[in-house]
Structure 1
């Protein structure tokens, strides 16, 4: 368990960017999503409390698995150890840009007679 990988997942949620750490991440059976499990947060033994990390800890408390749309994912890194999770606002002007709608799988081609 000492060599269990830790992943840093950065994704957009509305007008905010979330940066979380997790031990399990994989493509979901639900098409167009990734699954993130086993969230990792900093120890409470620290004297200073990061309000951003506390917000994420509260938001994901009790969450067994989170499904994140692939279009919302900015970056996924495998890291040596977990860091501080955080929430940040998008830079001014970036929050009005949306992903191009993804139509899904292409329609089936009909055979010509």
Structure 2
């Protein structure tokens, strides 16, 4: 029996937006501090209903063979049984997502 390929749900912050994408491969990059994402998975194009958020992501990642995401931007990576709907949501005001501070707080 052939082993099913793993599918990963990767959530990361990019320009104050929370990206949730699905891909087949996630691994550390040779570039220090980055993760490589490959094999992006988007819904079937034959669907009658089209999700504008997914369509936006599909356009943004069209032609992208591999994406390098800074490790500090990654919120969570899950191995899932099947892909869901990729989406972009606002990360501001969300109680579940907090960006790691880029600079240390100033001492008084």
RMSD: 2.3
Report the number of matched residues.
Answer: 102
Offset from partner CA, 1:39-83 (integer Å, 9 cap, x none): 000001211110000000000000000000000000000000111
CA distance in 1, matches of 2:80, 2:93: 29
* CA contact 2:37–2:66 (8 Å) conserved in 1: yes
For residue 18 of structure 1, give the secondary structure of its aligned residue in structure 2.
Answer: strand
For residue 54 of structure 1, give the secondary structure of its aligned residue in structure 2.
Answer: helix
CA distance in 2, matches of 1:46, 1:15: 30
Q: State whether structure 2 residue 66 is matched by structure 1 residue 99.
A: no
| Unaligned 5+ runs, structure 2 | none
Match of 2:53 in 1: 52
* CA contact 2:22–2:86 (8 Å) conserved in 1: yes
| Unaligned 5+ runs, structure 1 | 103-113
CA radius of gyration, larger in: 1
Give structure 1 regions of 4+ aligned residues with deviation exceeding 3 angstroms. Answer: none
Could you tell me the TM-score, scaled by structure 2's length? 0.85
CA distance in 1, matches of 2:23, 2:94: 30
Could you tell me the TM-score, scaled by structure 1's length? 0.81
